[in-house]
């Protein structure tokens, strides 16, 4: 492992939208995450002052080292959002150039920047000049299936004065298909003058421990591994696998429930928000299959075979239906809540997969949920949801759509510039009238 480190951290809790909020970050910090990255914040909404959006970039009271992640296609918005992140206590700003979501890409942000070096330079310069704290960039291998631009983009970022590079070794088009290209990550890390933090397919502490002796990376960022097994950081620090029993996992959930209620409050709104978040989180936590039953640690790309619970609580952890989730949360100390927003479709999907004796595919369920997203949810989340859901939706070839979106991004960029100029002109006319 390279001796240099970014912000003094080696093991990062990666950015995970809808999950890596303050309560969850507090939990993984207790398990040993050196640094935590906030949920992705869309720069434009942050600048417009949305309370929910500002929360995303603020350091929480329990974050040890906190990175605020921003995304967007407008350098003015990015610079302002980065400045706000610095003001609200972030230790570093992470610029997301890996986000595959159409709603982000079509506005000239996220992964589209991997194939637009000129626009990328403008945005990197804007962010770098806006703050004095360290800045990092999150990239993928490329945009289209055959792309491999990670080295080129890493060089651009270093030249722009960026202090670290987070790489997920897959293209935007691949989503989560195939294995993460760790050879590429290592190669970029070898060539880089700044710390490179690798991420992708690190499902268990042993995956990280095996890489550590030879890696050129200065750190690792964990996403799905950590949201399924928050204790993965403890495994890394202790140097061995940990297989907590159902009771121990319930104690962990009870802590998360407590932190969630402390963050969102116990009034009706707080309870609803807590229930929504905890049910989403349980989509991942309930995926854990005890190693002592399976006989081995489940790799990221492998789906668990069906397994037989050894006791009643283990059986409850295995359930994926709404009532099972709520019962787990009740036992973990969540008070009775208003009608939760776990969708009926999930119950149906879980029920039908149970009928067919197959392990329910949580990603597919989430994808259906996402397609089913109500207008209220779309406004809540700015039409942005978890990547895993989008993966399933985007499984079909989207190259034609990408071309349209690229063109649309150009038009949106021009329109935003025109609107900004009009706003400047109007405000100077108004100042002229008020102060002739
Ligand atoms: C549900 C979900 C949400 C995610 N949200 C973000 C995000 O907001 N920003 C980001 O940079 N990456 C996000 N990612 C990607 C992860 O940070 C990570 O790069 C990717 O999942 C590969 O790592 P893994 O194999 O450890 O999951 C998300 C991934 C998942 C599964």
Domain holding 215: CATH number?
3.20.20.70
Q: Is the CB of 42 under 6 A from ligand 1?
A: no
* d(C-alpha 90, C-alpha 60), whole Å: 9
Range of the domain at 25: 11-238
39 lines ligand 1 (CB under 6 A): yes
- Is 37 part of a structural domain of the chain? yes
Whether residue 375 is contained in a domain is answered as no
pLDDT number for residue 4:
83
Q: How many helices (H) and strands (E) does the chain have?
A: 21, 9
* pTM, rounded to two decimals: 0.82
Q: Which two tokens stand for residue 175?
A: 């989503």
Q: Are residues 282 and 326 in the same domain?
A: yes
Burial class for 427, CB neighbours closer than 10 Å (0-12, 13-18, 19+): exposed
Helix (H) or strand (E) holding 354: helix 344-355
Could you tell me if 188 and 335 lie in one domain? no
Ligand 1 within 6 A of 15 CB?
yes
Indicate whether 226 and 270 sit together in one domain.
no
Q: Which helix (H) or strand (E) holds 277?
A: helix 268-285
Pocket test for ligand 1, best of 11, 12, 13, 14 (most atoms within 8 A of CB): 14
135: how many CB neighbours lie within 10 A of its CB?
Answer: 25
**CA 395, CA 133: separation in Å to the nearest integer?**
38
Ligand 1 nearest atom to the CA of residue 389, by list position? 1
Same domain, 182 and 162: yes
Which residue minimizes the CA distance to atom 23 of ligand 1?
200
Q: What total number of domains does the chain contain?
A: 3
Tell me the catalytic residues: 99
> What's the pLDDT score for residue 354?
32
365, 353, 279: which is closest to 323 by C-alpha?
Answer: 279
What is the model's pLDDT at position 389? 34
317 and 210 in one domain?
no
> Residue 271's pLDDT is what?
96
Same-domain status, 198 and 274: no
E strand segments, 172-230? 196-199, 219-222
Averaged over successive runs of 10 residues, the pLDDT of the chain (436 residues) comes to: 85 98 98 98 95 96 98 98 98 98 96 97 98 98 96 98 98 95 98 97 98 97 98 98 98 98 96 96 97 96 94 97 95 81 43 31 34 31 37 33 45 53 52 49
Q: What is the pLDDT of residue 50?
A: 87
Same domain, 29 and 172: yes
Question: What distance in angstroms lies between residue 111's CA and the mean position of ligand 1's atoms?
Answer: 13
Residues 211 and 254 reside in one and the same domain: no
Q: Which helix (H) or strand (E) element contains residue 167? A: strand 164-171
Q: How far is the CA of 27 from the centre of ligand 1 (A)?
A: 18
Query: Does 376 fall in a domain?
Result: no
- Residue 369 falls inside a structural domain: no
Q: What is the pLDDT of residue 422?
A: 55
The confidence score (pLDDT) of residue 336 equals 84
Q: Report if residue 53 sits inside a domain.
A: yes
Indicate whether residue 71 lines ligand 1 (CB < 6 A). no
333 within a domain of the structure (yes/no): yes
Select from 114, 175, 203, 224 the residue to mutate for testing ligand 1; criterion: most ligand atoms less than 8 Å from CB.
224
Question: Does one domain contain both 270 and 203?
Answer: no
Q: What are phi and psi of 142, to 5 degrees?
A: 175, -170
Question: Does residue 388 lie in a domain region?
Answer: no
- List of residues 6+ apart from 5 with CB closer than 8 A: 195, 218, 219
The residue contributing the CA closest to ligand 1 atom 12 is: 15
Same domain, 16 and 160: yes
C-alpha R_g of the chain: 22
pLDDT of residue 424: 46
Whether ligand 1 lies within 6 angstroms of the CB of 229 is answered as no
Quick one: 416 exposed, middle or buried, by C-beta within 10 A (0-12, 13-18, 19+)?
middle
- The two tokens of residue 239 are 């140097």
213 and 354 share a domain?
Answer: no
Answer whether 174 contacts ligand 1 (Cβ < 6 A). Answer: no
Mutate to test the pocket of ligand 1, among 12, 13, 15 (most ligand atoms within 8 A of CB): 15
- Look at residue 287 and tell me if it is in a domain: yes
Residues 67 and 133 in one domain: yes
């Amino acid at each position: 492992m390279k001796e240099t480190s970014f912000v003094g951290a080696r093991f990062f809790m990666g950015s995970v939208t809808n999950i890596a909020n303050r309560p969850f970050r507090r939990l993984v910090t207790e398990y040993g995450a050196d640094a935590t990255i906030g949920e992705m914040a869309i720069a434009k909404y942050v600048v417009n002052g949305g309370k929910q959006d500002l929360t995303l970039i603020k350091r929480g009271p329990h974050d040890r080292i906190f990175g605020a992640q921003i995304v967007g296609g407008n350098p003015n918005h990015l610079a302002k959002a980065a400045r706000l992140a610095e003001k609200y206590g972030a230790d570093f700003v992470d610029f997301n150039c890996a986000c595959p979501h159409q709603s982000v890409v079509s506005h000239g942000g996220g992964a589209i920047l991997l194939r637009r070096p000129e626009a990328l330079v403008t945005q990197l310069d804007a962010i770098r000049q806006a703050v004095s704290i360290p800045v990092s960039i999150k990239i993928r291998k490329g945009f289209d299936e055959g792309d491999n631009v990670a080295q080129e983009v890493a060089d651009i970022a270093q030249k722009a004065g960026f202090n670290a590079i987070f790489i997920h070794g897959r293209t935007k088009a691949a989503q989560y298909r195939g294995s993460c290209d760790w050879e590429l990550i290592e190669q970029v890390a070898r060539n880089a003058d700044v710390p490179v933090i690798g991420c992708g397919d690190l499902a268990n502490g042993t995956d990280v421990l095996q890489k550590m002796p030879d890696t050129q990376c200065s750190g690792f960022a964990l996403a799905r591994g950590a949201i399924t097994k928050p204790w993965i950081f403890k495994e890394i620090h202790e140097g061995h696998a940990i297989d907590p029993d159902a009771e121990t996992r319930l104690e962990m959930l009870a802590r998360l429930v407590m932190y969630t209620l402390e963050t969102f409050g116990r009034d009706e709104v707080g309870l609803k928000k807590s229930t929504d978040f905890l049910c989403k989180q349980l989509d991942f936590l309930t995926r854990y299959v005890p190693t002592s039953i399976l006989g081995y640690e489940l790799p990221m790309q492998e789906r668990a075979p069906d397994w037989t619970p050894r006791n009643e609580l283990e059986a409850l952890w295995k359930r994926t239906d709404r009532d099972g989730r709520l019962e787990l949360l009740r036992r973990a100390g969540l008070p009775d809540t208003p009608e939760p927003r776990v969708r009926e479709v999930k119950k149906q999907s879980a029920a039908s997969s149970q009928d067919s004796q197959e392990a329910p595919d949580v990603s597919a369920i989430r994808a259906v949920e996402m397609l089913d997203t109500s207008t209220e949810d779309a406004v809540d989340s700015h039409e942005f949801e978890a990547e895993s859901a989008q993966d399933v939706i985007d499984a079909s070839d989207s190259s034609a759509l990408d071309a349209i979106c690229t063109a649309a991004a150009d038009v949106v960029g021009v329109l935003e510039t025109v609107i900004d100029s009009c706003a400047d002109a109007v405000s100077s006319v108004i100042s002229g009238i008020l102060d002739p």
